[in-house]
Amino acid sequence: MKQLCWFLLIVAAATTLLGQSDVRSAMPAKLTIPPEAQPSAQFNIEAATNAYLAQMPPAARARSDAYFEGGYWLLLWDFLYGVAIALLLLNLRWSAKMRDLAERITRFKPLQTAIYWAEYLILVTILGAPLGIYEGYFREHKYGLATQTFGPWTIDQLKGLAINLVLGAILTMALFGVVRRLPRTWWLWGALVTFLLLVVVVLIAPVYLVPMFNKVSPLNDPVLTQRILRLAHANGIPANDVYMMDASKQTTRMSANVSGLGNTMRITLNDNLLRRGSPEEIEAVMGHEMGHYVLNHVYKGMFFFLVLIVVWFAALFHSLQWALRRWGDRWQIRGIGDTAVLPLVMLLSSIFFFVLTPVLNTSVRVQEAEADMYGLNASRQADGFAQAAIHLGEYRKMSPGPIEEWIFFDHPSGRNRIHAAMQWKAENLALFH
Ligand SMILES: [Zn+2]
């Protein structure tokens, strides 16, 4: 249940924000430029955009619209389901009982917190399993996006749970330590502690966490590697390696991303993109990823998260006091320093992040649009980029309304991406003689 583990969700967002361009396709790995998008004196941006959009069969579009719009409802169901679980744990006093159990096992406070965290995480995972399995397994298979059978999928989930168990225990031990020592200013110091752990996780993720799920290796195609490294060096990126990942183990989506921080920062493309993307398309996607790198989106994203975490903790500070005054006795929670408060923290946090959904999506989408522009300028592959946008359209709605895009899209829509590419082409027709 992702909304119940906000910290890890943020980590996941921070490590993937930086540029997923997932795509799935039945289209051949060859670029087909429609007649309307051919360079000519009559080149028309709207006509070229529409011609590319028309490459997508209506049935494929209906399917991706259904998948993506279903995701809007899942946002709501995830939120409500998480709220229901938290209220259950509080009102049935299961949370207080889990705390009592942890206190019976040990008298050492930090260890009590870690034990409570383990009890909490396992219980919430079990209660959340019906929706989690539908969402993560059956629904993905229904739309042809998943490649794993139930056994390997479950093993991946258990690995995620183990990571969550360890990182969550470290974070809760640190946070409750801060709360108990600094009852008036814990929100500020707690936010900084949370941010520091986030930095560490982003730093180690490509080296230690990603390899737990997938095999990451240097790209074994010398011609393509040359092409990508030339693009990198021309853009001032001192890279000597390009990485690839066997994402086809889990999914049919094409993707590439920038991950890590400082020395661990790297660009990785997945094997679906390698297999099904045309060379022009791969170059366009790589240009986009390099945009994230050159424009320092990782660092800007981290700064945004720092501000967000401080605001989140300040909101928690006030709302926790208010809620505990009203219902603390009934839930048998002794105060903010009592681990039994955790479901309440998760409940209030899920409200905070649910309300902020459009803000979070927009902050990522703005960077994605910047990386798109950078990628077009760097790679000069406007048609490859349009093809990538169509590939993406197999699971992301192509032509949403403007408000819909603002609320739900963490990348520009396919139509807007193709339009931007065709505008770029129209302004650079001289390059195509
Ligand atoms: Zn991106």
Q: How far is the CA of 65 from the centre of ligand 1 (A)?
A: 21
Q: Counting every residue, how long is the chain?
A: 433
What is the CA(60)–ligand 1 centre distance, in A?
Answer: 23
Whole-number Å distance, alpha carbon 22 to ligand 1 midpoint, is: 9
Is it the case that residue 28 has pLDDT exceeding 80? no
SS3 readout for 230-257: HHHHHCCCCCCCCEEECHHHCECCECEE
Banded model confidence at residue 262, pLDDT cuts 50, 70, 90: confident
List the end-to-end C-alpha distance of the chain, in Å, as a whole number: 53
- Which pLDDT score is estimated for 297? 94
Q: Ligand 1 centre from 363 Cα, in Å?
A: 12
pLDDT higher than 50, residue 11:
no
pTM to 2 decimal places: 0.89
- Report percent pLDDT > 70 for the chain: 94
- The predicted-structure confidence for 63-88, as pLDDT tens digits, reads as follows 999 999 999 999 999 999 999 999 99
CA of 367 to the centre of ligand 1 (A): 7
CA of 371 to the centre of ligand 1 (A): 6
Which residue, 265, 269, 274, 273, is CA-closest to 294? 265
- Class of residue 367 by CB neighbours under 10 A (exposed 0-12, middle 13-18, buried 19+): buried
Instruction: Find out whether 18 and 301 touch, Cβ atoms under 8 Å.
Output: yes
Q: Ligand 1 centre from 415 Cα, in Å?
A: 16
CA of 208 to the centre of ligand 1 (A): 22
What are 196's two structure tokens?
């520091």
Angle at 100 between CA 99 and CA 103, to 5 degrees: 90
Calculate how far, in angstroms, residue 414's C-alpha sits from the geometric centre of ligand 1. 13
Instruction: Give 282 Cα–ligand 1 centroid separation in angstroms.
Output: 13
**Dist. CA 9–CA 160, nearest whole Å:** 12
